[in-house]
Amino acid sequence: MCYRNGYGYRCDCCGEDFRQKNLSSNEAVLNEIMRFIKVWNDMIGAVKFDKDGMEPFMVAFTPGEQMKVIPKVKAEEYLPCFGEDDVIELAPDTDFVISYDRQLLFKVGDQKYLDGPALIYAVDEEGEVLSLSVADIYEIQEMLERRTLLVTEDGDEMPVLSLN
């Protein structure tokens, strides 16, 4: 019997059908480990994507810089406190949520301003992150343009995002 084409296939060189080969204990253990890794890989892939099979994307924004569209898996690189100690509230003028570090928020009277990075994204009823569409990204971009202001402190101008 020729095993050139692997186990479980008809051999192209001699035409013989597969005959079950007895696996050694090491091969059987390795086979189980590979099956286990495949199951975990499938589970991780399912978590990485939203219910429509899309990788969730969000907008990363720092006042004074270009906004970026990033996958959810890179959110902590942009906002280290994401999912742990971040403030999550409705983004102004939209149906999306904004996440930011509370230490980067300052108030002047009743006005709230953010002078650091923020993530803007969509969520479902259960709070799971959904992928943004092109129209969603455009809506967020317009809101950021309207709400980014320059404030002056001790003669220095600083770009901030007005949150109310």
Q: For residue 118, how many other CB atoms are within 10 A of its CB?
A: 26
Domain for residue 27, yes or no?
A: no
- Structure confidence at residue 24 (pLDDT): 73
Please state the domain count of the chain. 1
- Residue 110: pLDDT band (50, 70, 90) is confident
Mean pLDDT of the chain: 78
Residues in the chain: 164
> Which pLDDT value is given to residue 9?
52
* In a domain? residue 24: no
pTM of the model: 0.64
Query: Which residues of the chain form beta strands (DSSP E)?
Result: 57-61, 68-71, 86-90, 97-101, 105-108, 111-114, 118-123, 129-130, 148-153, 156-162
Could you tell me the residue range of the domain that residue 66 belongs to? 57-162
Judge whether 20 lies within some domain. no
User: Once rounded to an integer, what is the mean pLDDT over residues 97-118?
Assistant: 88
pLDDT score recorded for residue 91: 87
pLDDT tens digits, 52-73: 566 788 899 988 888 888 888 8
